[in-house]
Structure 1
Amino acid sequence: MTTQSSNITMYGNNNNNGSMKNGGMGEEEPIDKDVSVDRSTLEAYIKLEREIAEEEASNPLQPLELKSEQLAKITQEIKEMEVNLENLERETAKEKEDVDALETGDVDIKTTLLEMGNSFDDQMAKEKAEYLAALNKQEIASQELESHRKQRDQLAEEVAELEERASTLQAMYKTHDELLSRIFGGEYGSVMENQLEAELDELEAHRARIMEANFKWRQAQMMLEYACKQLAVAVQKWQDLPTIPTIDLEIRYSVAAETRNNLVAASQNINGAQRYLDNVNFPYCAPEEVDTLNKQATEYVFTDMQSQDRHEHAHTCYSTTHKRANALLQWFDTVINTTIMKDLQEINEKVKEKTLELRRERVRLIQDKVRELWGTDIELDGTLRGAELDLEQLSKANLTDGQVVKLEGNELEGDRASTPPPLSDDELAPLPSNSIIFGNMYDHYQNQLDDLAKQHQQEMETFIREQEMNSKRISENLQDKLMARRQRRARMRIEEKQKTALTQ
Structure 2
Amino acid sequence: MGCGQSTDSAFSNRGSISSLKPYPQQSSVEDSGAAHGNGVGPEPVVDRETVEEYLQTEREIGEARRADPQVLSQLEMKTEALDKMTQKVERLEREYGDLQALAKDGDQSDTKKALVAIKRGARASTAEEERVAGCNNKEIAKQARDEAVRQKENIQKEVDQLQSKAARLQNLYTKQDALLSKIFGGEYGSDLENKLEEELDALEAQKARIMEANFKWRQAQMMMEFACRQLAVAVQKWQDLPDIPDTSLEVRYTMAAEARNNLVAASQNIEGAHRYLSNVEFPYCNPDEVDTLNKATSYVFTDMQSEERHSHAGQCYEITHKRAAALLQWFDQVLTTTIMEDLAQVNKRVKETSLALRQERIRLIKLKAKEIWGADVDVDIDAGVSADDEDLNAMMMQGVSDSEVAKTEETADGPRAKTPPPLTAEEMAPMPSNEAIFGLSYEQFKEDLDNMREQHETEVDHFMRGQERQADKIRGDLEAKLNARRRNRAMRNLEERQKRELAAGAAVS
Instruction: Tell me the TM-score normalised to structure 1 length.
Output: 0.78
Q: Say which is worse superposed, 377-386 or 143-152, in terms of deviation.
A: 377-386
SS in 2 for 1:24: helix
Residue number in structure 2 paired with 1:133: 133
| Alignment of 1:321 onto 2:300 | no
* CA positional deviation for 1:431: 0.5
Please give the per-residue CA displacement for 1:255-292, whole angstroms capped at 9, x wherever unaligned. Answer: 00000000000000110111011000110001110110
Letter in 2 for 1:398: G
Which structure carries more helix by proportion? 2
Residue number in structure 1 paired with 2:481: none
Letter in 2 for 1:312: S
Are the counterparts in 2 of residues 237 and 258 from structure 1 also a CA contact under 8 Å? yes
Residue number in structure 1 paired with 2:72: 61
Unaligned runs of 5+ residues in structure 2 are 11-22, 34-40, 449-509
Residue number in structure 1 paired with 2:469: none
| Alignment of 1:222 onto 2:231 | no
Q: Say which is worse superposed, 213-222 or 43-52, in terms of deviation.
A: 43-52
CA radius of gyration, larger in: 2
* CA positional deviation for 1:83: 1.8
Q: Say which is worse superposed, 196-205 or 60-69, in terms of deviation.
A: 60-69
| Alignment of 1:394 onto 2:395 | yes
> Aligned equivalents of 1:427 and 1:418: distance in 2?
20
* CA positional deviation for 1:442: 4.7
Are the counterparts in 1 of residues 71 and 162 from structure 2 also a CA contact under 8 Å? yes
Q: Say which is worse superposed, 179-188 or 399-408, in terms of deviation.
A: 179-188
Structure 1 residues 22 and 72, CA, compared in 2 at 3 Å: closer, same or farther? closer
Are the counterparts in 2 of residues 263 and 298 from structure 1 also a CA contact under 8 Å? yes
RMSD: 2.8
> Aligned equivalents of 2:135 and 2:280: distance in 1?
34
Residue number in structure 2 paired with 1:188: 188
Structure 1 residues 140 and 250, CA, compared in 2 at 3 Å: closer, same or farther? same
Unaligned runs of 5+ residues in structure 1 are 1-7, 98-103, 449-504
SS in 1 for 2:401: coil
Residue number in structure 1 paired with 2:365: 366
Structure 1 residues 411 and 145, CA, compared in 2 at 3 Å: closer, same or farther? closer
Structure 1 residues 366 and 174, CA, compared in 2 at 3 Å: closer, same or farther? same
Residue number in structure 2 paired with 1:211: 211
Are the counterparts in 2 of residues 151 and 403 from structure 1 also a CA contact under 8 Å? yes
> Aligned equivalents of 1:342 and 1:90: distance in 2?
53
Please give the per-residue CA displacement for 1:118-160, whole angstroms capped at 9, x wherever unaligned. Answer: 25626x6322111000110111011101111111111122122
* CA positional deviation for 1:402: 0.6
Letter in 1 for 2:366: Q
Q: How does 1:231-270 map to 2 (within 5 A)?
A: 231-270=231-270
Are the counterparts in 2 of residues 435 and 443 from structure 1 also a CA contact under 8 Å? no
Residue number in structure 2 paired with 1:273: 273
Residue number in structure 2 paired with 1:40: 49
* CA positional deviation for 1:311: 1.0
Are the counterparts in 2 of residues 359 and 385 from structure 1 also a CA contact under 8 Å? no
* CA positional deviation for 1:48: 1.4
| Alignment of 1:70 onto 2:70 | no
> Aligned equivalents of 1:414 and 1:275: distance in 2?
24
Are the counterparts in 2 of residues 206 and 445 from structure 1 also a CA contact under 8 Å? no
Are the counterparts in 1 of residues 62 and 389 from structure 2 also a CA contact under 8 Å? no
Q: How many residue pairs are counted as aligned between the two chains?
A: 420
* CA positional deviation for 1:34: 4.6
Residue number in structure 2 paired with 1:24: 26
> Aligned equivalents of 1:366 and 1:372: distance in 2?
10
Structure 1 residues 85 and 307, CA, compared in 2 at 3 Å: closer, same or farther? same
Are the counterparts in 1 of residues 92 and 141 from structure 2 also a CA contact under 8 Å? yes
Q: Say which is worse superposed, 237-246 or 27-36, in terms of deviation.
A: 27-36
> Aligned equivalents of 2:413 and 2:135: distance in 1?
29
Residue number in structure 1 paired with 2:100: 89
